[in-house]
Amino acid sequence: MIEPIDEFSFLPEQAADLGIDAPLPHGERVRLKLADGRTLSALRYGDGPPVVTFLHGAGLNAHTWDTTILALGLPALAIDLPGHGDSSWRADLAYTGRALAPDVATGIETWTAGPQLLVGQSLGGLTAAAVAASHPELVRELVIIDITPGVDPNAGPTQISGFFAGPTDWATRDEMVDRALAFGLGGARTAAERGVYLNSRMRPDGRFEWKHHFAHLAAAMAASPELAAAAAAQQDAAAGVLSVTGWDDLAAVTAPTLLIRGDHGYVTDANAAEFQVLVPAASVEVVPSGHNVQEEIPADLGARLRTAAGKG
């Protein structure tokens, strides 16, 4: 694959795919040092203060929202969750909504100038709910995409776990693209090349690795049955607690709340019915998509979010 000039060089191609011929928003990478020395990183788009903030799912990064933000047409912020993108990994491996929420709140306070339309997909959705519950002054409206408490945000097709349980480093990004395509991931090769470039980095020794921590954890567990068994037991023990805390977070949210679920995503009819019973003030919309709504139907999602932001 041909290495692009910078991380925003894909925007013209993505805009063309959507049929957008308006001037592209200015994009910049921003970073801040957290109190414990870790780094939180994000992408900021547009010339004014962000009015919409986006949180991605497990194993993804802030660039998953690029095309949706182009369709949105509003100043926006997309945060790399800790352990993902250019944000630092967590030594405690605590990648849950409540654990990630304080860092995200710090980012919103630093990089925005008013309450946000806060949009989170999968793990980002659970994190967004925790932020809205603990920092209501930062959230004007909450949109959760294809996740509810009790649905594993790290779950997915069986090829995902097998894909990340492979090697942790490669000689070239082309090898990473070939592996993604072999597992049926990434779509067309050009899209897979874009995704690999934005979700990988070159190490000091010249080899390439995934940016997010999950791939490295998956590979470690694949190499150690004992570690995998211990992790599975820990996950089973924590699942009930995380479900309860997730519902508690949603119950504490005072901002208007919308769940957008794919008609063939992770959220089942039963999950959605439970959501409507336990969060009766929230709205639910079903869209023709799988789990990664922002990548499958970005134009539709961008239009919906623009309406939610009061600009539709």
**Catalytic annotation, residues:** 122, 146, 291
Question: What distance in Å separates the CA atoms of residue 93 and residue 134, rounded to the nearest whole number?
Answer: 21
Find the helix or strand (DSSP H, E) in which 80 lies. strand 76-80
Yes or no: say if 148 and 259 are a contact pair by the CB < 8 Å rule.
Answer: yes
Yes or no: say if 227 and 221 are a contact pair by the CB < 8 Å rule.
Answer: yes
Question: What distance in Å separates the CA atoms of residue 124 and residue 180, rounded to the nearest whole number?
Answer: 23
3-state secondary structure of 29: strand
Identify which of 72, 128, 79 has the alpha carbon closest to the alpha carbon of residue 309.
72
Q: Tokens 């870790």 sit at which residue?
A: 38
Give the Å distances, CA to CA, from 257 to 144, 222, 232, 266, 287: 8, 38, 32, 19, 16
- The most distant pair of C-alpha atoms in the chain lies apart, rounded to whole Å, by 54
Q: Which two tokens stand for residue 67?
A: 């095309």
Cα-flanking dihedrals φ and ψ of residue 113, to 5°?
Answer: -125, 15
Question: What distance in Å separates the CA atoms of residue 285 and residue 262, rounded to the nearest whole number?
Answer: 9
Radius of gyration of the chain (CA): 18
DSSP-assigned states of every residue in 33-86: E-TTS-EEEEEEESSS--SEEEE--TT--GGGGHHHHHHH-S-EEEEE-TTSTT
Sorted by sequence, the CB contacts under 8 Å of residue 22 that are 6+ apart come out as 73
